[in-house]
Amino acid sequence: MTLLKVENLTLQFDTDEGRITAVNNVSFNLEAGEVMGLVGESGSGKSVTAKALMQLNPSNAVYGSDSSIVLEVEEGAIDVLSLKRERDMQEIRGGSVSMIFQEPMASFAPAITIGDQMVEQLMLHMDLNKKEAEKISIEMLDRVGISDAAKRFKQYAFELSGGMRQRAMIAMALSTKPRLLIADEPTTALDVTIQAQVIDLMKDLVADFGMGIIFITHDLGVIAQTADRVAVMYLGDIVEQGTVRDVIQDPAHPYTRGLLHALPRLDDLDAPLTPVPGDIPSPLERPSGCVFHTRCSVAEERCSELVPQMTVLGDGHSCACFVEVEKRGAA
């Protein structure tokens, strides 16, 4: 069942220096129980895309006229971008859609106990009295592997260690049983041993709850271990999309290949680290044609003039590159 349908999402920001394009004509679907990774460098538009799903972008954001984000929830389909009132959005935020962030300290109010904050959210979104909400909160804390959950429930965020805090945030995000979870770099600030624990936990929870996850990260290793499908973003465009296996083991877009060549790999210590040449262009100076042509090693003349379309190469694997599509042949 398709949980989320994003079509032609274009998102621009009005700034003093002019209108900049943060997300350009992006389309993707997410099935229930599926984890979709969104990868890209800083400034690629991955976080802005995710925030658009909950309309969390600042008020100077301008959405394209044919952009649509449709969320299938129990009550039926919701066209997120048509919700104009804050009140309508608030029902979705923390209810059918939850988000977890990189920095858990920023998600917890410093002067409210973790328990009170969880209870508040549950009572807002679900028809529960305080006692029931407390019970569910403590169960959730226990479920994410926090020992002595009843005691932690009464503590403040600063009293918990980093890994514990991340678990508590996941517990809070999942307590309302959201259909869609947006995870924005949830493991980036964690140590690698704690990261491994959180990744395992998230995999378990997907299996248990059957929700869909949009997983944003810059770490391709984390994506390989968590996601089913992945979309690679560059300067606001999705340039390649497919199963994790296809994209990482048989990358089609020159940018995806560039990212993989720049990555220090443990299975080949002799491989040189090759950066993608040049710098990511300023969003104020978006290149014409293919956005990547200024840094691309296989770019031809047409790449600077024409915009390549996402073309299906094979089972669920698609890529927006003239050269590569010709070489492989469209499916």
Residues in contact with other proteins by the rule CB under 8 A: 41-42, 161-164, 191-197, 199-200, 218-222, 224-225, 244-245, 248-249, 258-260, 262-267, 269, 273-276, 279-280
Q: Minimum distance from CB of 259 to other proteins (Å)?
A: 6
- Kind of pairing, strands 180-184 and 212-217? parallel
Nearest CB to other proteins, comparing residues 100 and 259: 259
Nearest CB to other proteins, comparing residues 249 and 309: 249
Q: Minimum distance from CB of 199 to other proteins (Å)?
A: 7
Sign of the C-alpha dihedral computed for residues 185, 190, 194 and 195 taken in this order:
positive
Nearest CB to other proteins, comparing residues 59 and 193: 193
| Whole-Å CA distances, 197 to 138, 146, 164, 193 | 20, 12, 11, 7
Q: Minimum distance from CB of 155 to other proteins (Å)?
A: 16
Nearest CB to other proteins, comparing residues 98 and 226: 226
Q: H or E segment at 9? A: strand 2-15
Nearest CB to other proteins, comparing residues 63 and 234: 234
Q: Minimum distance from CB of 94 to other proteins (Å)?
A: 28
> How many other CB atoms sit within 10 Å of the CB of residue 11?
24
Nearest CB to other proteins, comparing residues 244 and 252: 244
Q: Minimum distance from CB of 74 to other proteins (Å)?
A: 32
Nearest CB to other proteins, comparing residues 99 and 259: 259
Q: Minimum distance from CB of 205 to other proteins (Å)?
A: 17
Q: Cα(88)–Cα(227) distance, rounded to whole angstroms? A: 30
Nearest CB to other proteins, comparing residues 164 and 303: 164
Q: Minimum distance from CB of 35 to other proteins (Å)?
A: 11
Q: Minimum distance from CB of 292 to other proteins (Å)?
A: 12
